Amino acid sequence: QKEVEQNSGPLSVPEGAIASLNCTYSDRVSQSFFWYRQYSGKSPELIMSIYSNGDKEDGRFTAQLNKASQYVSLLIRDSQPSDSATYLCAVNNGGGGGFKTIFGAGTRLFVKA
């Protein structure tokens, strides 16, 4: 079983719609959760971090965490063509001194103008 699992996509949404990206993880003791965005040919950059159950909103982005279901999601409201990228889910269980963050393979998002 993969430690961090994401649908590879591509997920295609029209401009202005809500894009919903999902991620499941296998380690129940995971404590820290991150969403990174990676444009083609570029390196990952942090979009959101979330540490407790519930929703966390930052502009057009909302991260949702459900530790009981081992599920974390990212919602992008009013999607723009510039949001087209690969979104990486990352999970840290605090083990190994806290430095071992496990990444999913990413979901490719395509926003159609």
Where do contacts with another protein occur on this chain (CB under 8 A)?
A: 4, 8, 32, 34, 42-46, 49, 88, 92, 94, 96-106
- Closest alpha carbon to 93 in 64, 73, 70: 70
3-state secondary structure of 95: coil
Give the tokens for residue 101: 């963050």
What is the nearest approach in angstroms of another protein to the Cβ of residue 99? 4
Amino acid at site 43:
S
Q: Please, which residue, 17 or 38, has the CB nearer to another protein?
A: 38
Amino acid at site 10:
P
d(CA 17, CA 11): 12
Handedness of CA 17, 81, 10, 35 (dihedral sign): negative
What is the nearest approach in angstroms of another protein to the Cβ of residue 78? 25
Q: Please, which residue, 71 or 103, has the CB nearer to another protein?
A: 103
Q: Please, which residue, 1 or 113, has the CB nearer to another protein?
A: 1
Q: Please, which residue, 73 or 104, has the CB nearer to another protein?
A: 104
What is the nearest approach in angstroms of another protein to the Cβ of residue 30? 12
